[in-house]
C-alpha cells in the first residue's frame, strides 16, 4: 500500500492577552454578525468569563441565546440535548465558553445543526461511526477557553462519551476548527489547583504523544486530499510546537499548581495548551489518549477533589496521564531518540542515557510531575482493578483514530499488559 507524501498544517487563529474576552462583541459586530448562540456549562455560566462575554455582546448590540447545560465530560445524550436546543434558535455565530467540554459541544452543535445527518453516528470516527466528512463550511465559532489543557480552541476534534459503550469517541475534521480562540489568562484565574493540574497534564501528554506518533509519511496515502485525516502523524512543524509546549509545562505547571495568583505561570500555561493543540491537532495523539477513553467512560464512584460536578468523573487529563508512564515504557523501543528528546524538554537529565533506558527515563519524569501535582497513584487509586482490564481493553480497541498512530502497534494482549502496568504509578 502506498504511503502519504504530504502533511497539512491547519489551525485556528488565536488572540492572546489579559482581558481579550471583552473584545468578542466588537469582533462579531465587525464580522457583520447579529445574533449568537452562547454555549457553556452551568458552573461557568455563573462565573466571570461568561458574564464578560454576555456583557460584551450586549454592549455591541449583539443578540444572543444562552445554552448553559453542557455536561462536563459530554456524552452522546448531552450533545443531542444541545443540538436540539440550537435547532430551535436563530443564530449566525456560535460562542463557546468553558473547558474542552463546552468547546467540543459547540463544534458538534455547529456541525449537526448545519448538516443534520441521517444517523447520529454518521460523522463519528470509525469503526464506531461512519466517519463521513463534513459536507461544507460551518458558521463562525468563537472559542473562549477557561482551562489551560485541551487546546480545543485550535483543533478540529470534538470528543464525547458514547454511553452505551462506556468509552469515548469523537469527530475529527478540519472544518470543526474554531474561527478564533481567545487566550485570556484572566479566565483561568479561578481554576482550583486540581483542575489546573489535570489540564496541565493533558497538555504534557498531548505534546509527548504528538512528538512520538508515527511519522506522517508512513501513513496510508488517502484517495484524495480531503480524506487526509486531521491526525496525520508527527511532522517537522508540529514537532516544534510540541517540544516548546513541553518546555513550558516543565517550568510553569508546578508554579500554577502551587500559586493560583502567579500571573506569569497562568499566561504561559494557557499558551502551552494552545501550542500543544497546534502540535497534536495536526500530528495526533496515540495510546495514552486511546486508553483514557474507557477509563473515563467506565468510571464507578471516583470524584476528583476540586471538581464541582454532579456525577462520578475521572477528569480527562487524569485519565490520560494515569496510562502515560506505562505507554512510553512500551513505545520507547520504536524511537528511543524521540522519547529522550521529550524527557529532556521536561527537564530530565539524558546525557549518557542508553537507548534501552529511554522509556524508563521519560516515564519516571512523567511520574515526577504526577506526584508533584497530586494525581492519584495509578488506575487502582481511581477505582479500577485488574478485573476491569478486559473491559478497558475492549473500550480501547475501537479507538483507531489515535491508536493507529502509536509508534509501536498494540494489540489486545499488549493493551492488557499496559493497563496492568498502569494500576500503580509509583
Same domain, 155 and 225: no
Q: Which residue has the cell 494515569?
A: 322
Strands 157-162 and 167-172: antiparallel
Q: Which three cell numbers stand for residue 357?
A: 533506558
Classify residue 1: in a domain, yes or no: no
Classify residue 173: in a domain, yes or no: yes
Confidence class for position 309, pLDDT limits 50, 70, 90? confident
Classify residue 227: in a domain, yes or no: yes
pLDDT of residue 261: 87
Same domain, 278 and 410: yes
Q: Where are the beta strands (DSSP E) in 3-89?
A: 13-16, 35-39, 63-67
Same domain, 305 and 204: yes
Q: Which residue has the cell 489486545?
A: 412
Q: Which of 166, 164, 163 is nearest to 393 (CA)?
A: 166
Alpha carbon distance 203, 74 (integer Å): 19
Same domain, 374 and 299: yes
Res. 359: pLDDT tops 80: yes
pLDDT of residue 252: 97
Collapsing DSSP to helix, strand or coil, 303 comes out as strand
Classify residue 150: in a domain, yes or no: yes
Classify residue 5: in a domain, yes or no: no
C-beta of residue 178 within 8 angstroms of C-beta of residue 103:
yes
Q: Which three cell numbers stand for residue 331?
A: 513505545
Same domain, 48 and 138: yes
pLDDT of residue 227: 85
Q: CB-based burial of residue 352 (10 Å sphere; 0-12 exposed, 13-18 middle, 19+ buried)?
A: exposed
Same domain, 105 and 81: yes
Q: Which residue has the cell 504530504?
A: 6
Res. 260: pLDDT tops 90: no
The partner residues of 36 in beta bridges, in order of sequence, read: 64, 93
pLDDT of residue 307: 81
Q: For the chain, how many helices (H) and strands (E)?
A: 15, 8
Same domain, 213 and 106: no
Q: Which residue has the cell 467540554?
A: 101
| Per-residue pLDDT tens digits for 113-122 | 999 999 999 9
Alpha carbon distance 305, 216 (integer Å): 39
Q: Which of 424, 426, 420 is nearest to 393 (CA)?
A: 420
Task: Mark which of 164, 188, 212 sits at the end of a domain.
Answer: 188
C-beta of residue 392 within 8 angstroms of C-beta of residue 279:
no
Classify residue 6: in a domain, yes or no: no
C-beta of residue 137 within 8 angstroms of C-beta of residue 261:
no
Task: Mark which of 139, 157, 188 sits at the end of a domain.
Answer: 188
Q: Which residues contact 321 (CB under 8 A, 6 or more apart)?
A: 201, 202, 204, 205, 288, 366, 370, 375
Look up the CATH number of the domain holding residue 240: 1.20.1090.10
Collapsing DSSP to helix, strand or coil, 154 comes out as helix
pLDDT of residue 69: 97
Same domain, 249 and 145: no
- Count of CB atoms within 10 A of residue 348's CB? 17
Q: With pLDDT > 70 as the criterion, what percentage of the chain qualifies? A: 100
Classify residue 7: in a domain, yes or no: no
CA atoms within 13 A of residue 349's CA, in its CB half-sphere: 1
Same domain, 57 and 184: yes
Res. 310: pLDDT tops 80: no
Alpha carbon distance 92, 263 (integer Å): 35
Same domain, 224 and 348: yes
Task: Mark which of 188, 216, 246 sits at the end of a domain.
Answer: 188
Alpha carbon distance 57, 246 (integer Å): 36
- What own/partner pairs with CB < 8 Å and gap ≥ 24 does 416-419 have? 416/389, 416/390, 417/330, 418/287, 418/291, 418/323, 418/326, 418/327, 418/330, 419/291, 419/323, 419/326, 419/379, 419/388, 419/389, 419/392, 419/393
Q: Which three cell numbers stand for residue 309?
A: 460536578
Residue 114's φ and ψ, nearest 5 degrees, are -70, -40
Look up the CATH number of the domain holding residue 29: 3.40.50.1970
C-beta of residue 402 within 8 angstroms of C-beta of residue 284:
yes
| Per-residue pLDDT tens digits for 122-175 | 999 998 999 999 999 999 999 999 999 889 999 999 999 988 888 788 999 989
Q: What is the DSSP string of 328-366?
A: HHHHGGG-HHHHHHHHHHTT---TT--GGGHHHHHHHHH
Instruction: Write out the residue range of the structural domain in which residue 117 sits.
Output: 13-188
The partner residues of 162 in beta bridges, in order of sequence, read: 167
Mean pLDDT for the chain overall: 95
Same domain, 77 and 153: yes
Q: How many domains does the chain have?
A: 2
Confidence class for position 269, pLDDT limits 50, 70, 90? very high
Per-residue pLDDT, averaged over 227-233, amounts to 91
Same domain, 167 and 127: yes
C-beta of residue 98 within 8 angstroms of C-beta of residue 195:
no
Classify residue 100: in a domain, yes or no: yes
C-beta of residue 272 within 8 angstroms of C-beta of residue 205:
no
Amino acid at each position: 500500500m502506498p504511503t502519504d507524501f504530504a502533511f497539512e498544517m491547519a489551525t485556528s487563529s488565536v488572540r492572546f492577552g489579559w482581558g481579550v474576552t471583552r473584545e468578542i462583541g466588537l469582533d462579531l459586530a465587525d464580522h457583520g454578525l447579529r445574533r449568537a448562540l452562547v454555549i457553556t456549562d452551568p458552573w461557568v455560566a455563573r462565573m466571570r468569563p461568561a458574564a464578560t462575554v454576555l456583557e460584551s455582546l450586549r454592549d455591541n448590540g449583539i443578540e444572543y441565546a444562552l445554552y448553559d447545560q453542557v455536561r462536563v465530560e459530554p456524552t452522546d445524550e448531552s450533545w443531542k440535548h444541545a443540538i436540539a436546543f440550537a435547532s430551535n434558535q436563530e443564530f449566525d455565530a456560535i460562542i463557546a465558553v468553558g473547558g474542552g467540554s463546552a468547546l467540543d459541544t459547540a463544534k458538534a452543535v455547529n456541525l449537526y445543526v448545519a448538516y443534520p445527518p441521517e444517523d447520529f453516528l454518521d460523522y463519528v470516527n470509525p469503526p464506531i461511526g461512519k466517519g463521513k466528512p463534513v459536507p461544507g463550511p460551518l458558521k463562525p465559532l468563537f472559542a473562549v477557553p477557561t482551562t489551560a489543557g485541551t487546546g480545543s480552541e485550535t483543533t478540529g476534534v470534538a470528543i464525547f462519551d458514547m454511553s452505551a459503550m462506556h468509552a469515548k469517541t469523537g469527530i475529527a475534521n478540519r472544518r470543526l476548527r474554531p474561527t478564533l480562540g481567545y487566550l485570556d489568562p484572566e479566565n483561568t484565574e479561578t481554576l482550583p489547583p486540581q483542575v489546573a493540574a489535570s489540564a496541565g497534564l493533558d497538555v504534557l501528554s498531548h505534546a509527548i504523544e504528538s512528538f512520538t506518533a508515527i511519522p506522517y509519511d508512513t501513513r496510508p496515502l488517502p484517495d484524495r486530499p480531503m480524506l487526509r485525516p486531521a491526525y496525520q502523524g508527527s511532522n517537522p512543524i508540529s514537532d516544534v510546537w510540541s517540544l516548546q509546549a513541553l518546555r513550558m509545562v516543565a517550568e510553569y505547571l508546578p508554579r500554577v499548581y502551587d500559586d493560583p495568583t502567579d500571573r506569569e505561570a497562568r499566561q504561559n500555561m494557557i499558551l502551552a495548551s494552545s501550542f500543544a493543540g497546534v502540535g497534536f491537532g495536526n500530528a495526533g495523539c496515540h495510546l495514552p489518549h486511546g486508553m483514557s477513553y474507557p477509563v473515563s467512560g467506565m468510571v464507578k464512584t471516583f470524584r476528583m477533589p476540586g471538581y464541582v460536578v454532579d456525577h462520578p468523573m475521572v477528569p480527562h487529563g487524569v485519565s490520560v496521564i494515569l496510562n502515560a508512564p506505562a505507554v512510553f515504557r512500551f513505545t520507547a523501543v520504536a524511537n528511543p531518540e524521540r522519547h529522550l528528546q521529550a524527557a529532556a524538554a521536561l527537564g530530565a537529565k539524558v546525557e549518557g542515557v542508553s537507548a534501552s533506558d529511554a522509556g524508563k527515563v521519560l516515564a519516571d519524569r512523567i511520574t515526577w510531575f504526577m506526584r508533584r501535582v497530586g494525581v492519584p497513584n495509578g488506575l487502582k487509586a481511581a477505582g479500577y482493578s485488574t478485573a476491569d482490564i478486559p473491559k478497558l481493553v475492549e473500550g480501547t480497541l475501537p479507538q483507531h483514530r489515535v491508536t493507529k498512530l502509536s509508534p509501536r502497534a498494540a494489540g489486545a494482549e499488549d493493551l492488557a499488559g499496559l493497563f496492568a502496568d498502569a494500576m500503580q504509578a509509583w
